Amino acid sequence: MRRLVWLLLPATALVADLGSKAWILRTLGEGESLPVVRGFFYLTLGFNRGAIFGSLTWLPATARSILFAVAGIAALVYFGRLFLARETATWERLALGLILGGALGNGLDRIYRGAVVDFLDFVFGTWHYWTFNLADSFILVGAILYGLRMLMAPKAEPQAKEN
């Protein structure tokens, strides 16, 4: 039962991501921008038809769809299995829940829109960061937490060979 309660985490991440995307789609047209903190943070509607940072846009749409579908299903199966495993530690489950919620949000975008809706837009002086969304943030935070957990996990001692 406790593992099922954990399903609220990826579900909440998914709802927050889809809700934010629905709001931005109602609020802005593609390419339109709304300043939140001028010179630093904007809401700018864009669509990413490629992979991370817009990569793979050179592939034909059908090839991208197949690649993203296979990679998405593989990731959901792999991370979902770890997420639901009885022996998964709390911090790992937290990280995996964020990754799953984000992956589902971006995956559903690809299925229903053929592109991921991006709108969080940061500028640092003359440098303009790629526009992203809540799902991307959940995936990144989950990956950082998972990586930290792996770094802090006790190392197994090598077994001495018997002669």
Q: Name the amino acid, one letter, at 132.
A: F
Tell me which residues are annotated as active site: 118, 136
Q: Give the span between the Cα atoms of 43 and 24, in whole angstroms.
A: 8
Let me know: does 133 contact 45? Beta carbons within 8 Å: no
Element (H, E) at 44: strand 41-48
Query: How is residue 45 annotated by DSSP?
Result: E
Instruction: Report how far Cα 91 is from the mean position of its chain's Cα atoms.
Output: 17
